[in-house]
A and B are shown apart, each in its own frame.
Chain A
Amino acid sequence: MSEPTRADVCAAAIADAFRDDGEIFASPMGMLPTLGVRLAKLTTNPELVISDGESLFLAGVPPLFAKADVVEGWIPFRKVFDVVANGPRHVMMGATQVDRDGNQNISAIGPFAQPRRQLLGSRGAPGNTVNNRTSYWVPKHSTRVFVERVDVVSGVGPRRAREAGAAAARFNDIHRIVTNLAVLDLGGPDDTVRLRSVHPGVTVAEVQEATGFQLAVEGEVPTTREPTVEELVIIREVLDPRSLRHREVPDA
């Protein structure tokens, strides 16, 4: 078995974000999060409920972009909103910007009234972040993504949630930020972004260099664990035999 690639490490780190979730709806947005969630379901958390990204709960765990599998439920968009409000869900979204307080932006860059660059819009980020566990995936860790203040707060970080009152803070749970360089969380002072681990071959200084605000760092920062042989076989042979993950995360 050849050495794990950076994308393999990212997939395992994403899987780890879902390992303690129990029997909830794992909602990954995009390719690496989908790979990581399916890896978790095949290893540490077989209880996870997963979907085809459209309207079906899947009983099996198909490879990326495969269609056919046993269906165990129906999850059209209207029922997704019910699950969000009800709570048993962990979403991993993308993020065009993330700031030190864990606020996320997928809406627009620049002034909202006339953005320099219009993005998707807020989508479900405001509702996700005050209703259920939310993580972020950043395939290219840079000072363009990790900024002092996001231009538009789509996803709500813990400080903003607290300031908005108990109703906003009760279920706010920003769990992990996984990037191509590191794993982060909101465990720093006053719920700021903290470096949990750096991927093999990456230094703390490199992560700080690629981050537009001061990261919270406590003591010796561990190295992100390497995937096990079992995980590598699942990633390479079962879930992503076409190596699509390397298009999103080229090897360092």
Chain B
Amino acid sequence: MTSATHRGPRDKRMSIDDVVSRLRSGMTIGIGGWGPRRKPMALVRAMLRSDLTDLTLVSWGGADVGLLVRAGKVRKLVYAFVSLDSIPLEPNFQRARQAGTIPEIVELDEGMFQTGLRAAAQRLPFLPARAGLGSDVLVNNPWLATVTSPYDEGHGHEELVAVPALRLDAALVHLNRADPHGNATYLGPDPYFDDLFAMAADEVYVSVEQVVDTAGLTVDTPVQRLLLSRMLVTGVVETPHGAHFTTCTPDYERDEAFQKAYVAAASGSDDEWAEFEQRFLAGDEDAYQAAVRAFHEEEQK
């Protein structure tokens, strides 16, 4: 018997910095979650600290997009919306768009975005969709093509949008629990599209609130919540509060007070933003979490 038969699946645990060291400038990176919900913010913060640049970002956007465009790391942004929910408009994204500092913009319909990820997940060059027809999504992205159905179901040969595959070099997602091998569960109300991001990507990094042993994954939650299989996952990072300040239900909800402070700083002068960066984003993840705790202690006074 070889030792390999005893070993079982690989231990894929790594640090936040390990993940970022595996990313390269110029990559196309998909960021999971949705708007201000269950975003891999600890990994995004680590990207801010890195010298990564020239990125193509694919995201149903929230502050992940705002922070990375403000830091000048994004060459091309693929999105359907960028929002903070309780505060509808993301000020850093808004600022960057109005200043014209994101060189390439691809604004899609939400459903087209999902269709593009599905095409990539299925290794297809495109999938047809009705969404986008007649809208300025096709006008503002003149490279988007249509495809004519070979079938006539009584409405003529329908001409549909050929939504191109949104292929990703890497996907970053944040879930509630994973085992060391990359099997992972979400415990909140919505899986969002993290499995699609994973299938669309060559490398997949999942950060989680807690790494548990495999048996622990289904102790207190149904098996249907196992969203990611280890065969999709490259690396697993334990990052408690790693989605902060977005939701990570039921572990925690959105930090609305902190989000307000973020929005105030991002909407303010360059000095105010520099102060926010200095206070929260200049150090490592532990320093960030400590600064957030201090922020709340101050708020309570």
Chain A: residues with CB nearer than 8 A to chain B?
54-56, 76-78, 81, 84-85, 107-108, 112-127, 129-131, 152-156, 160-161, 163-168, 170-172
Contacts and interface: CB of A to CB of B under 8 A. Distances in A.
Contacts of A84: 111, 131
Contacts of A126: 109, 112, 131-135, 137
Contacts of A161: 133-134
Interface residues of B, number: 44
Interface of B: 34, 61, 79-83, 88-89, 93-94, 97-100, 105, 107-112, 114, 129-137, 139-140, 155-156, 158-160, 189-193
A153 B191 contact: no
A117 B189 CA distance: 33
Nearest to A119: B89
A116 B98 contact: yes
Contacts of A120: 81-83, 88-89
Contacts of B105: 112-113
B137 A122 contact: yes
B136 A152 contact: yes
Contact of A108 (B97, B112, B132, B189): B97
Residue among B79, B81, B130 with most chain A CB within 10 A: B130
B136 A55 contact: no
Contacts of B134: 126, 129-130, 153, 156, 160-161, 163-164, 168, 172
Contact of A122 (B108, B155, B191): B108
B107 A122 contact: yes
B158 A122 contact: no
A120 B108 CA distance: 12
Contact of B111 (A55, A112, A127): A127
A77 B113 CA distance: 12
Residue among A84, A115, A163, A168 with most chain B CB within 10 A: A168
A129 B109 CA distance: 11
B88 A127 contact: no
A167 B107 contact: no
B80 A121 contact: yes
A56 B189 contact: yes
Nearest to A112: B140
B89 A167 contact: no
A154 B193 CA distance: 23
Contacts of B79: 121
A7 to B, nearest CB: 21
Contacts of A155: 135
A118 B97 contact: yes
A107 B136 contact: yes
Nearest to A167: B158
B160 A167 contact: yes
11 contacts: A77-B190, A77-B192, A77-B193, A120-B82, A121-B61, A122-B135, A126-B109, A156-B135, A160-B135, A161-B133, A168-B133
Contact of B81 (A55, A117, A123, A152): A123
Residue among B83, B134, B137 with most chain A CB within 10 A: B134
A113 B155 CA distance: 36
A165 B133 contact: yes
B89 A127 contact: no
A122 B81 contact: yes
